[in-house]
Every structure is written in C-alpha cells, then in structure tokens.
Amino acid sequence: MERLQKVIARAGIASRRKAEELILQGRVKVNGRVVTELGAKVGPRDDVEVDGIPVEREEPVYYLLYKPRGVISSVKDDKGRKVVTDFFKDLDKRIYPIGRLDYDTSGLLLLTNDGDFAHSLMHPRYEIEKVYVAKVKGIPTGEQLRQLERGVKLEDGMTAPAKVKLLSTDRRKNTAIVEIRIHEGRNRQVRRMFAAIGCDVLKLKRERYGFLDLKGLRPGEYRELTPHEVKLLRAIALSGGRK
C-alpha cells in the first residue's frame, strides 16, 4: 500500500505537494469515491482518478544510460532525430530523461517513469553534483579556471561555485581537457560557462552524477539502477544534494 499523493506524483501528474492540494480540493477519487484525507493509502489494484482521468499505475523503473553524442534527450523529436528512449525499444513503460544533456554531449543520463523521483532530483535547490569533462579550444589560465570556480556571469545570472581541474593540455593543438563539477543544471550551462571565460567547448561528456558513474557501459548501453542506488539518490536529493 502506498500514500495516495505518492501514487499521483509518481505518475508525473503533479509534485507530491501539489498532489496533496489536489486531494484536499476533492479532485481525487479512489474506486469512484472522492478521498480528501492526506493519509489515505491505496494498493496496486485500486483505481485512482484525478479530475475524472484515470492515473496510470506503472511499476516504477530507473535506468542509467550512457548517452552517445548526436542523440536528443527527449522521448520524441519533430525532426525525426534519434532520441534517448530509442535505446529502450523493448520496454513497455513510458520512461523519460531526468534533465537533459545537449544533442552533442555524451555521458550519464538517468531515465525513469517516476515523476516524483525525477522532480526531487531536478529541484534547483537540491541538485546533485555532476562531473563533466570538457575538451576546450585554448588553454585556460589559472585565473580563468578560478573564475569558473568562483562563478561567472551568464545571461540568466551568476553561476554557483564550481570545482575545476585542468586535466591535460595540448600546446600544439591549443586545446585542454578540463574537469568541472557543478550542482546546477541550467540549459547548456557548461558550454556557456566556458564561453564566458573565452574558451569554446569542442567536446563534452558527463562522467558522474552524484555517486554514479559510467563504469561497465559503452555509448548507447544502459543498466537498471539498483534499489539501493535509488534509495541513496532520493536521500541525497532530500538532504540538499551536496554529495
């Protein structure tokens, strides 16, 4: 048995708090009857409706995909380009990515059908640490790297403090490999941060998401998260994401 608000949230209809409001507003029915108690629990066979629309009761699933470059972080694309859910052709559940990686970015991407879980991981205040490795044009100076660490001004505001490490340089080709750890997840954030210090990103890969990495996977491959990993991610997100 599970709490009604959790079932509604997991179906991606609303956050858990919004789901509680829906219940209090009398918009939720269980087996045809309006339920307004927040403590109510439902089993897998109970019919739940929100505003008269049945709530899908799929078993929650959680995957870690090694997204290759040249794939859209979406469930469909108007231009017919490859999307991340194309790697899960035989799955009979409607999963979607938690956040996004750019078309040209490779690396670790989580997918789920658990709206509540996705929502808590993407909450801007609680975002989990992500580690990116960027190949950039130009060799950033120590001062430029410190600027990235302190925060740079982007058109949507200053970035939060980051951790930055110069991994290698190629003086002949005038390129560098830089690791950057951030908690935020703004659109094209890493590319824009490097642009702000005058370096173009030539290649970008997300190597880690919290304690998760890509070990054992090649581009296009995925694995299921273990129940323990799911539990830990939830705990990290709820405790403020600083792990």
Q: Name the site residues for ligand URA (rule: CB under 6 A).
A: 101-102, 105, 188-191, 204
Catalytic-residue membership of 102: yes
Distance CA 119, CA 10 (A): 9
- Of 182 and 225, which CB lies nearer to ligand URA in the complex structure? 182
Residue 237: CB partners within 8 Å, gap ≥ 6?
120, 121, 123, 126, 128
Residue 160 is encoded by which pair of tokens?
Answer: 């939060």
CB of 207 to ligand URA, least distance (A): 12
Strands 175-182 and 201-209: unpaired
Distance CA 134, CA 115 (A): 30
Report phi then psi at 209, rounded to 5. Answer: -135, 100
Residue 18 is encoded by which pair of tokens?
Answer: 């919004």
Q: Which of 51, 102, 116, 170 is catalytic?
A: 102
- Of 59 and 155, which CB lies nearer to ligand URA in the complex structure? 155
- DSSP track, 167-204: EEEETTTTEEEEEEEES---TTHHHHHHHHTT--EEEE
CB of 208 to ligand URA, least distance (A): 13
- Of 23 and 201, which CB lies nearer to ligand URA in the complex structure? 201
Q: How far does Cα 77 stand from its chain's mean position?
A: 19
- Of 101 and 178, which CB lies nearer to ligand URA in the complex structure? 101
Query: How far does the chain reach from its first CA to its final CA, in angstroms?
Result: 31
CB of 190 to ligand URA, least distance (A): 3
Residue 113 is encoded by which pair of tokens?
Answer: 């059908």
CB of 142 to ligand URA, least distance (A): 22
Distance CA 75, CA 72 (A): 8
CB of 104 to ligand URA, least distance (A): 8
Q: What angle do CA 199, 72, 233 make, to 5 degrees?
A: 85
Which residues does the annotation mark as catalytic?
102
